[in-house]
A and B are shown apart, each in its own frame.
Chain A
Amino acid sequence: MKHHEDTWGWMLAADFFLAGMGAATLAIAAFSDLSSEFAVPLAARLAAPVLIAMGAGLLVLELGKPFQGWRVFMNPKAILTFGAWNMTLAIVLGAVKAAFYLPQVAARVPLVNNVTLQNLLSVLLLVIGLIVSSYPGVLLARHVARPFWTGPGIAVLFLLSSLITGVALIQLASAFSASSSGADLRWVLLASAVLQTLLWPLYLYVKRTGTTQREAEAARTWISGSSASAFWLGLFGCGSVLVVAVQLAAPHFTAMSAVFCLVGGATLRYMVVLSGKQRTWIAGEQQYFARLPKGDEAFLKAWTKNQETLES
């Protein structure tokens, strides 16, 4: 029996991770198509819409009524609706764009060679990819009563993490594909990992010192409280510092640093989503709910059993 507030769980965190990674991959691939400065392996192009679709699937499973999930498309004012439409577009357009790179499709569909269409698709995917990468952070940042989320900082960190995991996916795909095309992105990975290494301590410092008492308490949980080991070892250690270290010491170990990036990105999403359990409490609220029965008391078990018997 749960008297405490229901909050988002691991499935939403997994959605943010998978969709963010896929969307960033789409945006980077679109940029590569427009700039022609580096190539993105076909495996990464194919994986991107699949990852976003997997994230969307988890989002649907998180709903209380998964079979009525289509209803989330109905309120144009809601940021979740905006995100749902963009995810759908990213899946469809990403799959179409990836299909253009399949030799079987290129041979049969003459439109593939239309430069205007290709460029239009790339521009659309660049914009939509960036929207899907950043909208979860914007969504969280608008929760004024969730002290760890509120403010624009979390949106920046989410976008940065999505880009890092997107680059990592492309690096992984490059490492395991026949053609080596990830060389130019190693510096992007290093630069973004360095930025993340600097920004996370800065974010926690600002929360800890420069804002409200409740935000300071939320940051303390991350710095030295119950979330500290996951933050220092998973997000900061593995997802940022180790990536920088590997990139500097052994730049050819691209797959290893990419895996570290993915571990860090997944840890970030999970920790940030779970930190939403902390709300700006009203005086006496936590004590009140702590005093309520947990559900395993003998009288409650007997009562529940009796109710079930009556209902059946």
Chain B
Amino acid sequence: MRYAMVIDTRRCIGCHSCTVACRTHNGLPIDMIYNPVMTIGPTGKFPHVHLSHIPLLCMHCAEPPCVDCCPTGASQQRADGVVFIEQTKCVSCKTCIMSCPYGARKANHKTGTAQKCDFCKDRLSEGKLPHCVATCHQKARIFGDLDDPESEVYKLVNTEKVARLHEEFGTDPHVFYIVS
């Protein structure tokens, strides 16, 4: 079992529903966003104009620099690939925040801990999808087991033209973007 997410940038319309769903259901502070949606463009000249959206989130890397650098052992990775922070152990030393190439971790000044997207791991244990996936009305976010050849993520990763962010850093991110 290896959880991964595929984001189809051809389908994403930049409605920010995923951002809102994540913030609402996870009860995030007002200045914290786990999954912002970047907008690139518009570029080009009419009628050849292009606008694209790139939703960001924790990449749940196979080689997460945030886990090894954590001095308290709060930053952990499960066998299914989910990277998460054990809040009781975190002291917000910010080492993981600094080491993450994707800016996926935020400091919560009220709790004195770092926080991040954990693929809604509590929902996963109940057999449900992460909130951002469940709420995406464009079906732009696809979630599943990358080790299962029957899963949609497996098929998409192996048949579509996919890209990953900052592969050059060697973190082996497990969020894949389908690009046109």
User: Which A residues contact B (CB, under 8 angstroms)?
Assistant: 1-3, 5-8, 62-66, 68-69, 71-75, 77-81, 84, 142-146, 276, 279-280, 282-285, 287-289, 295, 300, 303-304, 307
A7 and B169 CA atoms in complex are apart in Å by 20
A6 & B106 in contact (Cβ 8 Å cutoff): yes
A285: nearest chain-B partner, CB-CB:
B38
B31 & A6 in contact (Cβ 8 Å cutoff): no
- A282 in complex: contacting residue of B71, B97, B113, B165, CB < 8 Å: B165
13 A-B pairs, CB-CB below 8 angstroms? Answer: A63-B91, A64-B108, A65-B90, A65-B113, A68-B91, A71-B74, A72-B93, A284-B39, A284-B54, A287-B38, A287-B39, A288-B38, A303-B30
A280 and B167 CA atoms in complex are apart in Å by 12
B30 & A1 in contact (Cβ 8 Å cutoff): yes
Chain A residues within 8 Å of B97, by CB? 5-7
A35 and B103 CA atoms in complex are apart in Å by 49
A78 & B109 in contact (Cβ 8 Å cutoff): no
Q: Chain B: how many interface residues by the 8 Å CB criterion?
A: 44
B71 & A280 in contact (Cβ 8 Å cutoff): no
A289: nearest chain-B partner, CB-CB:
B36
B98 & A8 in contact (Cβ 8 Å cutoff): yes
Chain A residues within 8 Å of B30, by CB? 1, 300, 303-304, 307
Chain B residues within 8 Å of A75, by CB? 70-73
A283 & B91 in contact (Cβ 8 Å cutoff): no
User: Which B residues contact A (CB, under 8 angstroms)?
Assistant: 30-31, 33, 36-40, 54, 56, 65, 68-74, 89-95, 97-103, 106-109, 111-114, 165-166, 169-170
Interchain residue pairs A-B with the least CB separation, the first 5:
A64-B92, A64-B112, A284-B38, A145-B101, A71-B72
Chain A residues within 8 Å of B92, by CB? 63-65
A81 and B74 CA atoms in complex are apart in Å by 13
B91 & A64 in contact (Cβ 8 Å cutoff): yes
Chain B residues within 8 Å of A65, by CB? 90-92, 112-113
CB distance from B111 to the nearest CB of A (A): 8
A79 and B40 CA atoms in complex are apart in Å by 37
A303 and B39 CA atoms in complex are apart in Å by 27
A69 and B72 CA atoms in complex are apart in Å by 9
A79: nearest chain-B partner, CB-CB:
B69
Query: Would A143 and B93 be within 8 Å (CB), given that A5-B103, A283-B54 are in contact?
Result: no
B54 & A80 in contact (Cβ 8 Å cutoff): no
CB distance from B146 to the nearest CB of A (A): 22
A63 & B99 in contact (Cβ 8 Å cutoff): no
CB distance from B35 to the nearest CB of A (A): 11
A14 and B107 CA atoms in complex are apart in Å by 21
Chain B residues within 8 Å of A71, by CB? 71-74, 89, 91
- B94 in complex: contacting residue of A6, A73, A285, A287, CB < 8 Å: A6
B92: nearest chain-A partner, CB-CB:
A64
B169 & A144 in contact (Cβ 8 Å cutoff): yes
B56 & A285 in contact (Cβ 8 Å cutoff): yes
Query: Would A146 and B169 be within 8 Å (CB), given that A65-B91, A285-B38 are in contact?
Result: no
B65 & A144 in contact (Cβ 8 Å cutoff): yes
